[in-house]
Structure 1
């Protein structure tokens, strides 16, 4: 068996909010792939009094809703923390993807005691607003109260479509998102990686974060370093994110199926020949 020499392991740059890529990072390291965490979004509980008041009012009247829609695991987590009691079994829930469904399940909100609507999985699965809307019986919500829980901003497709079908929609914000300014340590770690011969790959899981990366890169680096950044491999899990990466300047983009297992498999496939090449030396 060949012992891997230090300095030759490929590196994945993870850009999710701090603490939200720990499982993927551990799996990558176990596969012989180094990890640099470089968060491009910050997530925090909602602090605006008006927004919190609207959220509390909605939670106080949960049983009035024919459906509650969560756009993300963050929406689930921050809402349940605010709720502070068991979710009523009579109130169905809809989520965009398996991460949100898992967050609900951790709180005991899952079949058979609760109705949870989630887009189906599989090799061709797409976990987005369009896929969730395809699972909803939209005409059934005409004239009925529906609650949409999200962060600040985001796409309007869910809200617009529900309203277009006559739903009496309430939209509340349970958390905030912002584009952070990386600290000195994060910049130094990225600068050191870019100055080395290490093969690296960016893992981009948000269009908003990808656009923020482009603005940071343009402000900090010269043309040669930008070319190195955008010449690296890039992995995404949705066509919309891939388009944002392409617009930023990446041209070696791999779009894989949604979910960390698929990202891990794609990154392992990318890293295998790099690792094998060095093992043969």
Structure 2
């Protein structure tokens, strides 16, 4: 179960958390959970791949100095785009991201204050990291008639694009990556099956509506009726009502909303697990 190796003391009653982000993107959270006595199972429900046709992306990046603002919808958009940037980021071009994960990814490429103005939603216990929150901090009135580049994956919501264009911005859209439904390895299915049939308290971290849809399709193909019912009884945690709504429609009934970001998700999972950990601490 990945990070479990760092904390081998998990027992028959240890709580577990199923993490569903794309492969390689749950390392910090998994490590923190393991250190707290919560066994993480990394079960990616989205596969992220480079866009098969990156010429529009490369062209836009080559012309980056012509833009006033570049918006990235996710850390994946940042990484898959900036690894192809042919020159240093121009200081007069501002960047915008939807959350701290994307801001951290920008910083990995040297795009950060004070050298570059970076717009992002404010952090905090009640923070939201989505298009709506980013729009609330963007100087939309100043973008009228200005060129804006929107870097995203294939498909996705058009809210950010629509609002920018309604404000009069001249928006170019490029895809940096594509999302696919993965094919989980048999070892992952065995690990998940084992949790569901055990007496161990198990939670599920849901961070994307698309991932919930993938889980629904994969689970209905893998489980029988009894197994699917066990899965739907799992305790789910998510930071957005839109994701919660998708999960309810898929049959999940025990859903807790928490603050946005990994630190808030970690706190919510610790609060959920603490009664179980305390109950068996002296056994």
Tell me if TM exceeds 0.5: yes
In 2, the alpha carbon distance for the partners of 1:83 and 1:189 equals 40
Deviation of 1:280 (Å): 4.3
TM (normalized to structure 1)?
Answer: 0.94
- SS where residue 205 of structure 1 aligns? coil
- Unaligned regions of 5+ residues in structure 1, if any? none
Q: How does 1:43-192 map to 2 (within 5 A)?
A: 43-48=48-53, 52-192=54-194
1:224 is displaced (CA, Å) by 1.9
Cα contact 2:10–2:37 (8 A) shared by 1: no
Q: Tell me, what secondary structure is at the counterpart of 2:83?
A: helix
Distance 2:154 2:263 in 1: 28
- SS of residue matched to 2:18: strand
Residues 1:5 and 1:151: Cα distance change in structure 2 (over 3 Å): closer
Runs of 4+ in 1 over 3 A off after TM superposition: none
1:231 has 2:236 as partner: no
SS of the aligned residue for 1:198 comes to coil
Partner Cα distance (1:85, 1:257) in 2: 37
Distance of 1:222 and 1:13 partners within structure 2: 20
Q: CA deviation at 1:222?
A: 2.1
In the alignment, the residues of structure 2 paired with residue 166 and residue 265 of structure 1 have an alpha-carbon distance, to the nearest angstrom, of 41
31-40 vs 138-147, greater mean Cα deviation: 138-147
Normalising by structure 2, we get a TM-score of 0.94
Contact 2:17 2:41 in 1 (8 A): yes
Distance (Å, rounded) in 2 between the aligned partners of 1:265 and 1:227:
27
Matching residue of 2:245: 243
Query: What is the Cα deviation at residue 102 of structure 1?
Result: 0.9
Please state how far the C-alpha of 1:154 moved relative to its aligned partner.
0.6
Q: 1:270 aligns with which of 269, 272, 277?
A: 272
Which of the numbers 216, 219, 228 marks the counterpart of 1:217?
219
Deviations 1:8-42 (A, max 9, x none): 11100001101000110000000000011111000
Q: CA deviation at 1:58?
A: 0.7
State which drifts further: 90-99 or 135-144. 135-144
Q: 1:17 aligns to what?
A: 22
Aligned equivalent of 2:41, options 24, 36, 48: 36
Gaps of 5+ in 2: 1-8
- Which residue pairs with 2:6 in the alignment? none
Deviations 1:114-142 (A, max 9, x none): 10000111121111001111111212222
Corresponding residue for residue 195 of structure 2:
193
Question: CA–CA distance in 2 between the matches of 1:265 and 1:146?
Answer: 36
The farther-off stretch of 18-27 and 223-232 is 223-232
**Equivalents in 1 of 2:281, 2:30: separation in Å?**
23
Contact residue 125 and residue 264 of structure 2 kept, 8 A: no
Match of 1:207 among 198, 206, 209: 209
In 1: Cα distance, 2:101 partner to 2:250 partner: 27
